[in-house]
Amino acid sequence: MIEGPLKELNIHDVFQLLDLGRKTGVLRVTSELRQNAGVVTFERGAVIGAHITSNPHPLGELLLRAGKLREEDLSRARALQEAGDRRRLGEILVAIDAVSGRELDRSVRAQVEEVVFELMSWSEGYFSFVEGPADRLEIEAPVSIATEALLMEAARRIDEWTRIESIVPHLGVVPRLCPPENDSAAPLDLVPFEWEVLAAVDGARDLRLIADALGRSDFDVARTIYGLTSAGVVVLDSPAPATATPAPQPSGPATAQVDEHLAMGDFEAARLAAVDLIAADPERAEGYLALGRTLLRLARWEEAEEALVDALHRSPTAAAPRRFLALALVAQGRFADAIESCDRWTRADGQSADERGHAVAVARLRDAAQVLADALRERHV
């Protein structure tokens, strides 16, 4: 089994290692902040299946949404399975001529690729790979996609996203048709998918909702809207600025809820409450501090360190995140890092009277880390 936080081993490197080692098994990737998880099945280094929590649509539903399958054909295929047909759904759909083998393969590949590309965009989270025979019966329509090709396409998309973001800053923008300047406007020369996206532009749905309605990827829709905007066919409206409607602030009771769960020993409930705090306002330190404290109680030291560092990025002079970060570092045996972290806070300017009141606790942690470091050093003399 291979596992660890993504901050130490990039997800691209994970895929490359599994490819080079021609591994067979299941890779699971989870993200606390995204509240999302993905599963990728490998066979001899190639990807044969993938799904993600945020897009749980099964194969039949995806084919329906893409207009490639009729409802009655899907019902017929499912009825055959319920009657005892042990074939996978994709095999049955091809056998009853509901879809062609080529169309099925194209749709499944697109679905798997989108899951992989989404996972490859994650820079935080945790991964685990369990080696073992791939269970193809659990996959509705297995494919075989070279991992190297997925890595190359992911790199290309990253480059293209950089270009797209110059006009389409995020997927929350709402496209609307640009009124023609005169009646003699030149006819549009668009490919079928561009017409499909243009027809879905109603001035109300953002890019995510349009992609969901069309059964296509966010990337494909964003790239098409980029082209239509550049051509002056559509204009983009951003959601109302945050100053118009203030974002909800984490309240005392919300943080108290985390404390209550911790006091009762319900660490999982405390973790979920902390994740809710972060979702309510990702720019405040309180949620990350609460998550870090909870992960410490769960003995998930590295993840706790990551959450507490995020808290300090948002509130560099705060004492509480610094104290708990020192604990996370000591728990990992990183005494020198814990000492340096405490010293950095002691030297910091701009501390409030309340923060200075925590100086004794920080100093105590710093001294304890020094004692442990000295003891370890003497042991190896």
pLDDT of residue 213: 75
**Residue 380 pLDDT more than 70?**
no
Lowest mean pLDDT among 9-18, 191-200, 329-338: 329-338
Q: What is the pLDDT of residue 245?
A: 38
User: If you average pLDDT over residues 68-77, what whole number do you get?
Assistant: 85
Whole-angstrom distance, CA of residue 275 vs CA of residue 13? 27
What is the residue extent of each domain of the chain?
2-161, 166-237, 252-379
- pLDDT reading at 242 higher than 50: no
What is the spatial distance between Cα 234 and Cα 201, in angstroms, rounded to a whole number? 9
Give the rounded percent of residues in the chain with a pLDDT score beyond 70. Answer: 79
pLDDT digits (tens, 9 = 90+) for 45-66: 999 888 888 765 667 777 776 6
- Provide the pLDDT for residue 206: 87
Residue 277: name the closest of 298, 256, 296, 297 by CA: 256
pLDDT computed for residue 369 by the predictor: 57
pLDDT value at position 140? 65
Residue of 312, 296, 299, 378 whose CA lies nearest to 345: 312
What's the pLDDT band for 329 if we cut at 50, 70, 90? Answer: confident
Predicted pLDDT at 368: 62
Q: What angle do CA 50, 54, 55 make, to 5 degrees?
A: 60
- DSSP string over 87-141: S-HHHHHHHTTSS-HHHHHHHHHHHHHHHHHHHHT--SSEEEEEES---GGGSSS
pLDDT band at 367 (very low <50, low <70, confident <90, very high): low
User: What's the rounded mean pLDDT across residues 130-139?
Assistant: 76
Contact 309, 317 (CB under 8 A): no
CB-CB contact of 32 with 303 (8 Å): yes
In DSSP terms, 235 is beta-bridged to: 176
- Give the pLDDT of residue 365: 58
Judging by DSSP bridges, how do beta strands 46-52 and 126-131 pair with one another? unpaired
Average pLDDT over residues 81-104: 84
Judge contact between 38 and 53, C-beta under 8 A.
yes
In degrees and rounded to multiples of 5, residue 116 shows phi and psi of -65, -45
Helix (H) or strand (E) holding 377: helix 359-379
Q: Which residue has the higher pLDDT, 125 or 375?
A: 125
- The class of domain 166-237 in CATH terms is mainly alpha
Residue 27 predicted with pLDDT over 90: yes
Mean pLDDT over 183-205 rounds to 77
- One-letter amino acid at 108 equals V
Superfamily for the 252-379 domain: Tetratricopeptide repeat domain (1.25.40.10)
Between the CA of residue 252 and those of 75, 133, 257, 303, what are the distances in Å? 51, 50, 9, 24
pTM of the model: 0.52
Q: What is the tens place of the pLDDT at every residue in 215-233?
A: 677 888 888 999 889 888 8
Res 355: pLDDT: 47
CB distance 36 to 159 below 8 Å: no
* Mean pLDDT, rounded, of the chain: 77
Q: Tell me what the mean pLDDT of segment 72-101 comes to.
A: 85
Name which of 95-104, 132-141, 293-302 the model is least confident about: 132-141
